[in-house]
Structure 1
Amino acid sequence: MRTIAFYSLKGGVGKTAAAVNIAYLASQAGVSTLLWDLDPQGASSWYLAGTEDVSGHKLSALIKGKSPIAEFIHQSEYPNLEFIPSHTSFRNLDVRLEQSDSNNLIKEWLAPLSEDTSLVILDCPPSLSRLSEQVLKASDATFVPVIPTWLSLNSWNQLQAFATDKKLKPSRLHPFYSLADRRKSLHRELIDAREKHLPSGLRTIIPNASVVEKMGEKGAPVERLAPASIAADAYRRLWQEIRGIIG
């Protein structure tokens, strides 16, 4: 079983959209995939639940060992794709992790799933916290969307510094440009100078496209909404890069 995360210090950078689209594409490639929505806002749960009314469970039962993680899993409407919905109690997860003696509860919780799941995708809330630390430790690779702006690049640099400080193997962090709009001069400038500003970045650039925004309205991945779109093609290329990294 491989575990990857989509993570950013900034909100609104296309993190959840990337997590959901990659989860869908992985499942369609025959990879048994689980997406865990760790963000209390629950956006990826919304995308995958569609019109179904899905409620997550309180984390207390999992933390106290009263319920195995398998009881938190829901089957999506897509073959090979399951998800753990978010719950408002996730906002207290950092506190619970701080109180635990475990080195990495996230990794321990996921371990029993290895027989039935090939890929776990963690959709993380935007913060620097104990949860961030455990997610980065538990993940074989972490993918970081970066908008082509100075503020977003600064957040990427902060994340690198955090990983270095916590000895979390910064080499496992993989940034990629997201919500890119070449009509904006700054976006063009930073994209064209990618080797300078984002030298370790993936080659794929996710565009700022209206069809990505429609995911929230329709509750479906871009590949289902507009498979011929530029955005759908970009996510397909992103999935191929990710697959090459995780094996």
Structure 2
Amino acid sequence: MAVIAVYSVKGGVGKSTLAAALAWSSATVSRRHTLLWDLDVQGAAAFLTGHERPHGKQAASIFSRETAPADLVRHTRWDRLDLLPADDSLREIDSLFARIGKKRRLARMTEALSRDYERIILDCPPVLNSLSDQVIRAADLIVVPLPPSPLSRRALTAIRDELVRNHKKHPPILPVLSMVDMRRTLHREAVAEANGWPVIPMSTHLEQMATRREPIGAFAPSSPAAQAMARVWTGIERKLCS
């Protein structure tokens, strides 16, 4: 089992889009039993896989062990892909972790879920707090989507600084340039400076994920953006299996 966290301290970078696409690739391309676990209170992962946002407030109760994860898991329309959705209770997750005082609670829970899942994809909120600490301790790989801009580079630096400052041992980071438009000089320069980072091109098909409510690989597998997502996933699998 491996845990892949899709994480950024900056919102609006295509994080949930990437998480949903990678989870779909894991389940349908690699044919692995996969859980897409939404830790972002916005609940985009559920939306992008065709589910409605839960009305209750149970997502955080998983961490206090009042609720079993299996009780909240939803099956998606794709074989081998399940969803653990977010809800409003995650707004209080920081105070919950402070109260229970368990720094590896998320890691322990993903270990328990390994009985049912080979890959767990975490769609993480854009925060630096106790939840991000839990994510870093649980993840085998952190995927960081970055639009090609100086502010995104600062976001990546913030993540790396956090890892060095608070985590002696931390998972590797995979930066991914997202929403790249090669017609723009700034974007071309960012790609040239990226040292071989994966690149996801700007695409109307990616925007259509929000209207079709399904990952891009499910409805436009031959599109350049879907092919780029597939290459990102292939690289992740190779890294995890090496």
State the TM-score, normalizing by the size of structure 2: 0.94
Rounded Cα–Cα distance in structure 2 between residues aligned with 1:45 and 1:139: 21
Identity %: 32
What does residue 219 of structure 2 align with?
Answer: 225
What does residue 91 of structure 2 align with?
Answer: 91
Task: Write the letter of the residue equivalent to 1:135.
Answer: V
Deviations 1:203-241 (A, max 9, x none): x20011111011011101111221111001101101101
Structure 2: state its 5+ residue gaps.
Answer: none
Deviations 1:48-70 (A, max 9, x none): 1x1x5452651353233232111
Rounded Cα–Cα distance in structure 1 between residues aligned with 2:232 and 2:164: 25
Deviations 1:101-160 (A, max 9, x none): 212111122222111110001000001111011101100011001111101011101110
Aligned residues: 239
Indicate yes or no: 2:226 matched with 1:239.
Answer: no
* Maintained 8 Å contact 2:35/2:120: yes
Structure 1: state its 5+ residue gaps.
Answer: 196-200
Deviation at 1:47, TM superposition (A): 0.8
What does residue 191 of structure 2 align with?
Answer: 191
What does residue 40 of structure 1 align with?
Answer: 41
What does residue 159 of structure 2 align with?
Answer: 159
Change (3 A) 1:238 1:101: same
Q: How does 1:24-103 map to 2 (within 5 A)?
A: 24-28=24-28, 29-48=30-49, 50=50, 52-53=51-52, 55=54, 57-103=57-103
Rounded Cα–Cα distance in structure 1 between residues aligned with 2:118 and 2:105: 19
* Maintained 8 Å contact 1:42/1:87: yes
SS at match of 1:206: strand
Query: RMSD in angstroms over aligned alpha carbons?
Result: 1.5
Change (3 A) 1:223 1:101: same
SS at match of 1:17: helix
Deviations 1:31-62 (A, max 9, x none): 000010000000111011x1x54526513532
Indicate yes or no: 2:199 matched with 1:205.
Answer: yes
* Maintained 8 Å contact 1:104/1:138: yes
State the TM-score, normalizing by the size of structure 1: 0.92
Task: Write the letter of the residue equivalent to 2:129.
Answer: S
